[in-house]
Amino acid sequence: MAKIKFHLDESCNPAIARAMKERGIEVTTSAEGGLLRASDEAQLKFALSENRVLVTHDSDFLRLDAAGVPHAGIAYCHQELLSIGEIIRDLVLIWEILEPKDIHGRVEFLRRG
């Protein structure tokens, strides 16, 4: 089974990337990719080029998805909705049960419960 790779934009706490890497999950960040202060479109283009699910708290990515901008998948949650631990738990669950083809072009909303 192919495993999902993630890209965390700069809205995400770096602790999320560290915790996921400790679990053996492939993750890049905007800082690592030279994408700090890059446009949302550039972030999506980078993630798509590497077949990575973009993880964000920025609702502008939801508008880009609705406008039909291609992407490899978006994992979104409002910044104040979940703790870092809950976000990590949800991303690990996505990584464990989905394949890249399952999320390609879709938005997964991370939420409590």
The domain that contains 65 carries what CATH number?
3.40.50
pTM of the model: 0.94
- Domain of residue 27 covers 5-109
**Measured between alpha carbons, how far is 107 from 109 in angstroms, rounded to an integer?**
6
pLDDT tens digit at each of 113 positions of the chain: 899 999 999 999 999 999 999 999 999 999 998 999 999 999 999 999 999 999 999 999 999 999 999 999 999 998 788 999 999 999 999 999 999 999 999 999 998 76
Amino acid found at 85: G
- Provide the number of structural domains found in the chain: 1
